[in-house]
Structure 1
């Protein structure tokens, strides 16, 4: 309970009357302060009884599913059971994995009515989340006090990875993917007809065209290219570090989910692995929408682990998961010096049988600090540390590329585009 203006007036009046009565020396005046105090206590008792009858409550009206990193709109519906207008001050609360504006809202809820408060929330962590109760203060009808109450919201929702098909305007969408490429091969689709050459197999001869032309005609077929892809997602300690709007794991999860959907649309087989110090979950490469759904389900349960990542253990598991040449997309922390040696060992283990693409994120804050103007004595040291960080990152990338493993490091918002472009290049250049 917190006194409002009317309550404070009665409290001050009680104190002033008590002081005046003490100074007067009159026994009757000395007891006069009990009157305003009694009125204040009686009014507070009445307000407390009224607030109990009001039974204020809040309901969250929102979708049952949110998308990681994508803002969602919620409505807070305030109600009560009194036959008069009630003022409510509410401090919106959200699960730890969801960001909202925490400004205190003041609403006047009419009798037998509802007041709606719009709220913008951005999920930052996957999984099932329950909306917590929020602290509120209810104004008493006599203006004496604010009465504290906790309003519970019975609302749960699930946060899932980003989609591809419903985000055509975002980077990495199908419209910006690879193009069909005609190449000679042993596929089932006829690419062209041409004159017979010595050495052409008999099953490539088009006998009907040969009969019409009066000479042997051979068929060239388009080449089928179906890749096996494993996306390895680092869920170790450093994946919990914030990188822009999401933590690193959030960026990895969204990229893995959208990349899997894009690759399956190209009729490639896609599998996923989550790893930290040990492999955590594995899904063998597969085709079709069923594979995409299984991948999204597995990724939705991913959480950062408080353990140092070990890409070498992940590479050992990948070698047993895919038997022939595959594209291994490893989303991990390239800038961590303690992992650089293990990354190199993992690349050597996968090469040359497989093609590992190692992708990581740089820090825009560190890049900005390298050339920032110094304002305090500490700024030059921070700038030197940032320069060392950036140079170490470049050395790690060069070392991986020297081994033959394509490696890239970009800002968080550019990582998806870089991986999609690399995938398109591998396909066009037939590196897998």
Structure 2
């Protein structure tokens, strides 16, 4: 309970009357302070009884699913059982994995209905998150006090990875169709007609065109390029480090979910592995929307582990998972000096049978800090530390490329584009 203006007025009045009565020396005036005190206590008792009958309640109106890193609207709905307007205040609360503004919000709730407070929340971790109870205050009808109550929301939010927002990219994944390359091969679509060559099989002869031209005409078919892809995601201790709006694992998960959906749209087989010091979960490569759903289900349950990452153990497991040449997209921490040596060993283990693409996030703060002008004596040391960080990152990337493993490091908002472009280039040049 917290006194409001009217309650404070009666409390101050009681104190003043008591002081005046004590100074006056009159026995009758000495007991006059009991009158405002009695009125205050009676008013508080009445307000407590009214608030007890109000039965304030809270419910949350929001989608049952949220997307990792994407802001969403959430409405707090307040209600009560009285036949009059009730003023309420609430301190919004959310699970630790959900970012929310926590400033005090006020609302007036009419009888027989509910009043809403709209909030913007941003999920920062995957998984199922149950909403905690919220601290609220109900205003008494006489303006004497705020009466504290804890309101249970009875709401949970499932946070899932991102999906492709480009409908054109997602169309192939939803339909499960094939995408043929404009190269000569043994596909199902006709690329061109040409003169018959000795040795062409009979099923390659276009008999209608032969009849029209009076000489043998053969058909060239497109070549269907179907790749096997394994996305290896680092869920070790460094994946819990914040990188922009999300931690590193959050960026890896969103990228893996969207990339898997895009690759399945090309009729490629996609699998996923989560690893830390040891492989944590593995899903063998597969095709179709069913594979995408299984990948998303597995990624939704991913959490950072308190263990140093070991890409070499992940590479050993990948060699057992895929037997023929595949594209290995490894999303991991490239700037960690202890991991860099293991990454090189993992790349040597995968090459030349497989093509490993190693991708990681860089620090936008470090990039800005290394070029920032110095205003204090400490700024120079911070700039030197940032320069050393960026130089080490570049050295690690160049070392991996020297082994023949494509490697890239980008800021979180640019990483997805870089990986998608590298994938498209690999398909175009037929490196897999």
TM tier relative to shorter chain: over 0.9
**1:184 CA displacement:** 1.3
**1:218 CA displacement:** 3.0
TM-score, length-scaled by structure 2: 0.95
Change (3 A) 1:191 1:141: same
The alignment's C-alpha RMSD in Å is 1.9
Q: Is this contact kept in 2: 1:73–1:119, CA < 8 A?
A: yes
Query: Alignment partner of 2:158: what SS?
Result: strand
**1:376 CA displacement:** 2.5
**1:181 CA displacement:** 3.4
Corresponding residue for residue 248 of structure 2: 248
1:388-403 equivalence runs, <5 A:
388-403=388-403
Corresponding residue for residue 141 of structure 1: 141
Q: Is this contact kept in 2: 1:174–1:262, CA < 8 A?
A: no
Change (3 A) 1:246 1:167: farther
**1:208 CA displacement:** 5.2
Of 191-200 and 85-94, the range deviating more from structure 2: 191-200
Q: Is this contact kept in 2: 1:231–1:273, CA < 8 A?
A: yes
**1:203 CA displacement:** 5.0
Q: Is this contact kept in 2: 1:18–1:31, CA < 8 A?
A: yes
Corresponding residue for residue 175 of structure 2: none
Corresponding residue for residue 22 of structure 2: 22
**1:220 CA displacement:** 1.9
Distance 2:159 2:276 in 1: 22
Corresponding residue for residue 409 of structure 1: 409
Distance 2:48 2:386 in 1: 58
Q: Is this contact kept in 1: 2:179–2:267, CA < 8 A?
A: no
TM-score, length-scaled by structure 1: 0.95
Q: Is this contact kept in 2: 1:359–1:407, CA < 8 A?
A: yes
**1:62 CA displacement:** 0.8
Q: Is this contact kept in 2: 1:186–1:224, CA < 8 A?
A: yes
Once the two structures are superposed, residues 101-160 of structure 1 have per-residue CA deviations (whole angstroms, 9 ceiling, x without a partner) of: 222111111222221111111111111111111111111111111111111101112111
Once the two structures are superposed, residues 262-319 of structure 1 have per-residue CA deviations (whole angstroms, 9 ceiling, x without a partner) of: 1111010000011111111100000011101111111111111111111111111000
Corresponding residue for residue 107 of structure 2: 107
Q: Is this contact kept in 2: 1:167–1:173, CA < 8 A?
A: yes
Change (3 A) 1:189 1:167: closer
1:170-319 equivalence runs, <5 A:
181-201=181-201, 203-206=203-206, 209-210=209-210, 212-319=212-319
**1:28 CA displacement:** 2.7
- What 5-or-longer segments of structure 2 have no aligned partner? 173-177
**1:389 CA displacement:** 0.5
Q: Is this contact kept in 2: 1:237–1:304, CA < 8 A?
A: yes
Distance 1:421 1:174 in 2: 19
Query: Alignment partner of 1:181: what SS?
Result: strand
Of 293-302 and 235-244, the range deviating more from structure 2: 235-244
1:7 counterpart = 2:7: yes
**1:349 CA displacement:** 0.5
Distance 1:343 1:387 in 2: 22
Distance 2:208 2:47 in 1: 97
Aligned residues: 427
**1:235 CA displacement:** 0.9
Query: Alignment partner of 1:135: what SS?
Result: strand
- What 5-or-longer segments of structure 1 have no aligned partner? none
Query: Alignment partner of 2:224: what SS?
Result: coil
Change (3 A) 1:208 1:115: closer
Distance 1:119 1:139 in 2: 22
Query: Alignment partner of 1:372: what SS?
Result: coil
1:321 counterpart = 2:321: yes
